[in-house]
């Protein structure tokens, strides 16, 4: 069988693949796009868009239950219609995916292949009965939920972040195994829908990559809503108990028994079934494709973008990977992965926005630093909204004034953080923030005040 020739092949239609296809096609290239499942990848189908749609529904229910706090009288108790919540979520996802599919179909220089791509050699891939060849191949295959081989895990009907999106009944008791970003988002969401929720985390505290004060504040937020949290859990195991599932996690505590179990224990890259060995593409011990600062693999003509390369596990890092690859290939602009600043959010309510270094990382670096912090109880906008959980913290270099990092855990924290993030990209010193005039009343208006009140970090 002769192979069909293209100028480029893009494997995976997540957040980096389609925009790269668009740029390559606009540059006059003949491009093949291969997708084995859903156009849009994790973000559109099982990640950001559907979950944030559900978070919005959960927030509406939570706010309605607090109506009396705002002087609003409701005629009866607040309930949720989970089937309508799911239908709303499905519409958002289907609309986004459908619009992306229509856009791809309109690209005259792009051929979409539905199927599983596997390398036959460094420049040839097989998709079903089709052979495709190109001098440039780009991987955007994403990742999936990790399912560790814990005792009894295969004997119970567990859920992952992806299968949670297909759930059409509200759990009476959801047990979430894992205490990080995805797990806590689901935990609070389903608690607000009306489920009893238990979180089990083996580490000594939640969100272990955050500073201890941030972890403690997140724990307080969840416990204030009636979520049972167990940290420092010992050997975790699973067993059926009638129609329920029992999760044992400590010798001195009774098992948690729930109707549903969500495993949120990290992610693994979708690289194990691509035939990378036939192409000679190197992966690390965790299965991530090894790339350089411009996302090139060890094999000339092959690049890796998004979750499969281990350089980030977010939609925004995947899209930025596309921008880096396109800039280098098409714009003569030598952009690099190392130029970007770590930034992400935790979408509980209130959300956490984070950029740059944590306090712990700054201390470990040994540099002299300054820190400023303010609780949301002293932020007028938060008080006015009746949402005073959380705090803001800024870190700066004591000698140079360089902004090192920021955390905003509070109303609009995922938006307010960009004020600091943009200054960091501009390499502006902390004095620039301190002298800025912000709009009142906002959460962001207190960032200059914090910048004026920095003290030595000890």
**Active-site positions?**
440
Residue with tokens 């993030």: 421
Neighbours of 35 (CB within 10 A): 26
How far apart, in whole angstroms, are the C-alpha atoms of residue 89 and residue 66? 24
C-beta neighbour count of 418 within 10 angstroms: 16
Asked whether the CA dihedral 397, 400, 402, 408 is positive or negative, the reply is positive
Cβ atoms of 137 and 120 within 8 Å: the answer is: no
Mapping DSSP onto H, E and C, the string for the chain reads: CCCEECCEEEECCCCCHHHHHHHHHHCCCCEEEEECCCCCHHHHHCCHHHHHHHHHHHHHHHHHHCHHHHCCCCCCCCCCCHHHHHHHHHHHHHHHHHHHHHHHHCCCCEEEEECCEEEEECCEEEECCEEEECCEEEECCCEEECCCCCCCHHHCCCECHHHHCCCCCCCCEEEEECCCHHHHHHHHHHHHHCCEEEEECCCCCCCCCCCHHHHHHHHHHHHHCCCEEECCCCCCEEEEECCEEEEECCCCCCCEEECEEEECCCEEECCCCCCHHHHCCCECCCCCECCCCCCECCCCCEEECHHHHCCCCCHHHHHHHHHHHHHHHHCCCCCCHHHCCCEEEECCCCCEEEEECCHHHHHHHCCCEEEEEEEHHHCHHHHHHCCCCCEEEEEEECCCCEEEEEEEECCCHHHHHHHHHHHHHCCCEHHHHHHCCCCCCCCCCHHHHHHHCCEECC
């Amino acid at each position: 069988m002769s192979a069909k020739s293209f100028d480029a092949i893009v494997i995976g239609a997540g957040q980096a693949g389609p925009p790269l296809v668009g740029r390559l096609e606009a540059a006059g290239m003949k491009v093949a796009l291969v997708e084995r499942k859903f156009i849009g990848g994790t973000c559109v189908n099982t990640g950001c868009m559907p979950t944030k749609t559900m978070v919005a529904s959960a927030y509406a229910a939570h706010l309605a239950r607090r109506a009396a706090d705002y002087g609003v009288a409701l005629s009866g108790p607040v309930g949720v219609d989970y089937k309508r919540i799911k239908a709303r979520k499905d519409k958002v996802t289907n609309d986004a995916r459908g619009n992306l599919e229509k856009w791809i179909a309109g690209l005259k220089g792009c051929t979409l292949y539905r199927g599983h791509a596997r390398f036959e050699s460094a420049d040839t891939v097989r998709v079903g009965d089709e052979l495709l060849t190109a001098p440039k191949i780009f991987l955007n295959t994403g990742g999936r939920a990790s399912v560790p081989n814990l005792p009894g895990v295969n004997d119970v009907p567990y859920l992952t972040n992806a299968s949670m999106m297909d759930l059409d009944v509200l759990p009476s008791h959801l047990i979430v195994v894992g205490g990080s970003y995805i797990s806590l988002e689901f935990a609070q969401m389903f608690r607000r829908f009306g489920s009893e929720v238990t979180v089990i985390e083996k580490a000594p505290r939640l969100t272990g990559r955050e500073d201890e004060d941030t972890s403690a504040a997140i724990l307080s937020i969840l416990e204030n809503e009636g979520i049972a949290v167990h940290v420092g859990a010992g050997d975790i195991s699973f067993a059926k108990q009638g129609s329920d599932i029992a999760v044992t996690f400590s010798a001195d505590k009774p098992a948690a028994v729930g109707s549903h179990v969500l495993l949120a224990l990290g992610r693994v890259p979708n690289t194990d079934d691509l035939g990378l060995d036939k192409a000679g593409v190197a992966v690390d011990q965790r299965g991530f494709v090894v790339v350089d600062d411009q996302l090139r693999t060890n094999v000339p003509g092959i690049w890796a973008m998004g979750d499969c390369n281990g350089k980030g596990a977010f939609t925004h890092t995947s899209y930025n990977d596309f921008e880096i690859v396109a800039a280098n290939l098409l714009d003569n602009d030598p952009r690099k992965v190392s130029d970007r600043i770590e930034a992400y959010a935790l979408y509980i309510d209130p959300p956490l926005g984070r950029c740059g270094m944590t306090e712990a990382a700054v201390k470990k670096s040994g540099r002299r630093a300054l820190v400023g912090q303010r609780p949301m109880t002293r932020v007028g906008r938060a008080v006015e909204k009746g949402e005073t959980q959380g705090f803001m913290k800024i870190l700066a270099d004591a000698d140079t004034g360089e902004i090192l990092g920021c955390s905003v855990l509070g109303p609009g924290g995922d938006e307010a953080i960009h004020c600091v993030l943009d200054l960091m990209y501009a390499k502006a010193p902390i004095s620039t923030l301190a002298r800025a005039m912000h709009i009142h009343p906002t959460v962001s208006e207190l960032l200059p005040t914090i910048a004026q009140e920095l003290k030595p970090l000890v």
